[in-house]
Structure 1
Amino acid sequence: MEQPIVRSSVGITLVGGGAARPEDLDESLAHAPCLVAADGGAGFVLSTGRVPEAVIGDMDSLRPEARERLPRERLHAITEQDSTDFDKALRSVRAPLVLGVGFLGRRIDHLLANFNVLVRRATQPCVLVGKREVVLAAPRRISLELAPGSRVSLFPMASCAGRSVGLHWPIDGLEMTPAGVIGTSNRVAQRHEGPVELSFEGSGMLLILPRKALSAVIDALSSGA
């Protein structure tokens, strides 16, 4: 088993080199105050007046001017080219929760690769935070406090079946696969009271929710429900 570069008893905000906004970083740090950058994400962190506790990646996206502003002991180069910087960073940290900023948007191939990492590294809870949405690998069971009508999208990265309570279109009895039945654009039933309950028989399901659901997701993951 790989030894972590960063181990934190509080949440980690992990910053990538994709589309990110200062307000995304501010909100994530309020929940996950340990700040780590994946390669070129360090440049965005520095632009906000902060210095990451660690920078992890192959360092091919870290600009020389940014490298010069970072303490040498905080740079952790992983030079192999068989994985993305997000993968290198996520597998190198241990925390109750990781919030990923700068991993949604810009390039579709990067986005798909990041979704792949989410489900392969699902033992480390991680939520990707974007301008309009949050994305996570769904745990086997999760209970979410969501408003009636809120969008709840499910996309399987592998064959996966599950059950639901509180969705407008229940998923009970569906075998979802990437090239078959999927569960996008579902929503919370209008007359449903109480939390939305989701359970899955296997791993590999992506859960995609509106950005305003971030606090509900963090609460659900923290409770282990």
Structure 2
Amino acid sequence: MSDTIVKSDAPVTLVGGGNVGPGDLSSALRLAPTLVAADSGAGAALREGHVPQVVIGDFDSLTSEDKERIPPGRLFPIDDQDTTDFDKALERISAPLVLGVGFLGARVDHQLAAFSSLMRYRQQSCILIGPEEIVIHMPPRIAFPVDAGEVVSLFPLARVTGRSSGLQWPIDGLVLEPGRRVGTSNRALGGPVTIDTDGPGLLGIFPRHRLEAVAQALRSPRDVAPR
């Protein structure tokens, strides 16, 4: 584990260099006011009038103009071509929750890499904010309110089992696995949805307007030990 650069007792907003939609950054900063940028995400922050408190990355896509607008003491270059800038930042943040903006909705390969990072650095709770949805790596247990009919999708990156309540199609007794059975397009029955998983590797994809509820759920104490 690399040295921590950002240590915060409050949630942190992490902005990347992908698509940052209208209201994405402001929605995240309202819940997580500490702003960190992954490489060229600094430019996205600057364009919206925010100077990141920390910038982490290999700086291969951070323009010289944007770099000059950031105090040198806030720049943390990481010379590593084997990891993405999202990896570099997520690995060096210690916070109760990270809200990731600018990692979804652009290039598909970048999105797939971000999903892999969510699993790889799952010890750091993180929510990726997209145009219509949010994406998390599922913790051992999560519960949050969802209206009847809302989509609750589960997508496995590894073989995983679990249990659920509040879903039209429960996952109890199922084996979710890439290339075989996935759990997309499930529907909430209304009220709280509770999902328990027996191991790592399951992504949760929920409606964007559930951001605050999911953020609260990820920060709530859970009676299941972290994996």
TM-score in same-fold range (> 0.5): yes
**Residue 205 of structure 2: aligned partner:** 208
State whether residues 105 and 131 of structure 2, in contact with CA within 8 Å, keep that contact through their aligned partners in structure 1: no
Displacement of 1:224 in angstroms is 3.0
Does 1:138 find its partner at 2:138? Answer: yes
Structure 2: unaligned runs, 5 residues or longer: 223-227
**Residue 85 of structure 1: aligned partner:** 85
Does 1:198 find its partner at 2:202? Answer: no
Residue 52 of structure 1 aligns with an amino acid whose one-letter code is P
Does 1:37 find its partner at 2:34? Answer: no
State whether residues 38 and 89 of structure 2, in contact with CA within 8 Å, keep that contact through their aligned partners in structure 1: yes
Displacement of 1:209 in angstroms is 0.5
Displacement of 1:22 in angstroms is 4.3
Displacement of 1:50 in angstroms is 1.1
Identity of aligned residues (%): 53
Matched position secondary structure for 2:100? strand
Residue 206 of structure 2 aligns with an amino acid whose one-letter code is L
Q: What CA deviation, in whole Å up to 9, does each residue of 1:103-124 have, x standing for no partner?
A: 0011111110000000111100
Displacement of 1:48 in angstroms is 1.1
Q: What CA deviation, in whole Å up to 9, does each residue of 1:29-56 have, x standing for no partner?
A: 0100100000000001011111101000
State whether residues 22 and 48 of structure 1, in contact with CA within 8 Å, keep that contact through their aligned partners in structure 2: no
**Residue 225 of structure 2: aligned partner:** none
Q: How do 1:38-57 residues align onto structure 2 when only pairs under 5 Å count?
A: 38-57=38-57
> Where do 4+ consecutive residues of structure 1 move more than 4 Å?
none
**Residue 167 of structure 1: aligned partner:** 167
State whether residues 154 and 182 of structure 1, in contact with CA within 8 Å, keep that contact through their aligned partners in structure 2: yes
Tell me the distance in 2 between the aligned counterparts of 1:9 and 1:162: 31
- Taking only aligned residues, the RMSD between alpha carbons, in angstroms, comes to 0.9
Tell me the distance in 1 between the aligned counterparts of 2:111 and 2:2: 25
**Residue 122 of structure 1: aligned partner:** 122
Q: What CA deviation, in whole Å up to 9, does each residue of 1:96-145 have, x standing for no partner?
A: 10000000011111110000000111100000001100000000100111
Q: What CA deviation, in whole Å up to 9, does each residue of 1:159-202 have, x standing for no partner?
A: 0001010100111111111111000000102xx4x411100111
State whether residues 142 and 224 of structure 1, in contact with CA within 8 Å, keep that contact through their aligned partners in structure 2: no
**Residue 11 of structure 2: aligned partner:** 11
Scaled by the length of structure 1, the TM-score of the pair is 0.97
Matched position secondary structure for 1:172? coil
State whether residues 40 and 62 of structure 1, in contact with CA within 8 Å, keep that contact through their aligned partners in structure 2: yes
Residue of 216, 221, 225 corresponding to 1:224: 221
Residue 144 of structure 1 aligns with an amino acid whose one-letter code is F
